[in-house]
């Protein structure tokens, strides 16, 4: 089978993806600077290279390996951090992506798959978003991801590099940490198992489209295999409120769960739900696990044996 490079392969989504790629027989090389990823997460059978995606070392490695595909997951993924440090966010998410694109061009890589975000849309007042809706980010994180997308499309036009841009909904699942890349599910799980109240920003009626990590890994592999260039949502197409998430966790957890409501945070999106019709039509991908099933699996992974 082919050689695949996964940037951010020591992270939450990346480690699940690498395991699946190895299971399919691919030779997998991971590029990760371990700023949020952990070396022990990288499955045996993959080769870990400790490089920053902005570095000459990462650039030259792709030229040396000449993989058939680069799956670019590594990023500065914290919305609040992007607002505190917009230059660093830009440097990693735009500069790092540009370094990887240049390496792909020089290394004759056939295809790049890029992990983008529902955050590119900002607060569009629409019940369910499609890939044709305007991108109007309200955080520097969303803006840097959108700019990186545009670089990828231009690289394709100018240099013929095939690509898949995947705008992820809210990814959750086993192995997600409550810091850095962690979303609300990981944060809530951490609080459950340390006996602290769930902190909800705003009234809790903000909606998210929660997608299980193994479904995301399958979508990435489908995009890697596809002959199509394009931008696709990786989502369930179903909105859940943060209050509903708390309710599901109450049904799973034997102890009382107190909740603390806090002020809203700048840059937080009010409503987010993404149609997955395009990726289903083009690649035949659809999520397998419901939100309740995915939460059960995630809860089980936090429960001591």
Catalytic residues: 141
Nearest to 170 by CA among 232, 233, 256, 83: 233
Residues 201/263, Cβ–Cβ less than 8 Å:
yes
Instruction: Tell me the C-alpha distance between 253 and 256, whole Å.
Output: 8
Residues 189/299, Cβ–Cβ less than 8 Å:
yes
Sequence-ordered alpha helix ranges (H) in 131-276: 140-159, 184-193, 213-225, 242-252
| Six token digits for residue 185 | 């599910």
Query: Could you write out the DSSP letters of every residue in 185-223?
Result: HHHHHHHHHTT-PEEEETTS--EE-EEEHHHHHHHHHHH
Q: Is 29 helix (H, G, I), strand (E, B) or coil?
A: strand
């Amino acid at each position: 089978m082919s050689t695949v490079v996964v940037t951010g392969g020591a992270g939450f989504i990346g480690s699940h993806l690498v395991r699946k790629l190895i299971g399919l027989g691919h030779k997998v090389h991971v590029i990760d600077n371990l700023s949020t990823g952990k070396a022990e997460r990288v499955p045996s059978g993959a080769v870990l290279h400790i490089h920053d995606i902005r570095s000459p070392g990462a650039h030259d490695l792709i030229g040396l390996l000449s993989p058939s595909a680069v799956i670019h997951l590594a990023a500065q993924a914290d919305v609040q951090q992007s607002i505190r440090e917009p230059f660093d966010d830009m440097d990693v998410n735009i500069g790092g992506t540009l370094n990887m694109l240049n390496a792909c061009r020089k290394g004759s890589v056939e295809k790049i798959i890029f992990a983008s975000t529902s955050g590119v849309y900002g607060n569009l007042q629409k019940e369910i978003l499609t890939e044709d809706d305007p991108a109007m980010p309200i955080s520097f994180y969303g803006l840097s991801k959108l700019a990186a997308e545009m670089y990828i499309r231009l690289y394709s036009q100018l240099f013929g590099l095939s690509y898949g841009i995947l705008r992820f909904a809210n990814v959750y699942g086993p192995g997600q940490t409550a810091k850095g890349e962690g979303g609300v599910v990981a944060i809530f799980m951490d609080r459950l198992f340390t006996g602290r109240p769930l902190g909800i920003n705003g009234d809790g009626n903000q909606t998210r489209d929660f997608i299980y990590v193994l479904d995301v890994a399958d979508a990435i592999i489908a995009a890697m295999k596809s002959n199509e260039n394009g931008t696709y949502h990786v989502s369930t197409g179903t909105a859940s409120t943060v209050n509903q998430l708390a309710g599901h966790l109450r049904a799973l957890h034997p102890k009382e769960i107190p909740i603390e409501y806090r002020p809203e945070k700048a840059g937080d999106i009010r409503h987010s739900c993404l149609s997955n019709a395009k990726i289903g039509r083009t690649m035949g991908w659809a999520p397998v696990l419901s939100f309740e099933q995915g939460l059960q699996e995630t809860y089980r992974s936090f429960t001591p044996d």
